A = this chain, B = another copy of it.
Amino acid sequence: MNDLNTELRDLRLGERLRILRERAGLSQRALAKRANVTNATISLVEADKTNPSVGALRRILDGIPVSLSEFFAFEPEPEQVIFYQAEDLPEIGKGKLSLKRVGNSQFGRAMTILHERYEPGADTGRVMYQHEGEEGGVVVSGRIEVTVGEERRILGPGDGYYFDSRKPHRFRQVGGEPCVIVSACTPPTF
């Protein structure tokens, strides 16, 4: 019916699913295999030619994986393209802690990405920074002690962290080797 079509278009299930699937780098068939449905199902859903059951949609999303709540909460945003050469990145910090920011600190940016280098002895200080947003990162080399709220851990290469920036937090380099981290925080407070 026409009713069905308008309802399907209204939900925009297909558009969203396609975006998520492609972002995950999965073909319809690959996702279908993970999700225990057939590729035809995914094709039809993405084309808004069927109104899937909640269970089927969930199985599909599990394969990506995305939760139903994530799936039904959507949002938009704009910006421009830029590449940055290492030597062009603005250096913010001084001394034992150097920060290189990827991209400018512009309005409308959803986040800021930093390339951080902690020389031996570097410490963001006992003043525990707090600010709106969330932040996370991955340790590339060296070791660092991270304190968030009451929790404290020492992270090494390949380890990661993610927390609400409103929790007080502190980073302190440990060991003899400089520690390099790539991090992101949102919103861009720098």
Residues of B within 8 A of A120 (CB): none
**Is the Cβ of B156 less than 8 Å from the Cβ of A22?**
no
**Is the Cβ of B75 less than 8 Å from the Cβ of A67?**
yes
**Is the Cβ of A19 less than 8 Å from the Cβ of B131?**
yes
Contact with B along A135-168 (1 / 0, CB 8 A): 0111010000010110101011111111111010
Interface hub of A4, A66, A84 (most chain B Cβ within 10 A): A84
Cβ contact of A73, chosen from B66, B69, B137, cutoff 8 A: B69
Interface hub of A69, A103, A109 (most chain B Cβ within 10 A): A69
**Is the Cβ of A151 less than 8 Å from the Cβ of B83?**
yes
| Interface pairs (13), CB distance under 8 Å | A4-B55, A22-B131, A23-B129, A24-B92, A25-B125, A51-B56, A79-B163, A81-B149, A83-B155, A102-B136, A111-B134, A136-B184, A140-B140
- Give A residues with C-beta under 8 Å from B: 4, 7-8, 11, 13, 19-20, 22-25, 51-59, 64-87, 89, 92-93, 97, 100, 102-103, 105-107, 109-111, 113, 115, 124-125, 127, 129-134, 136-138, 140, 146, 148-149, 151, 153, 155-165, 167, 182, 184, 186-190
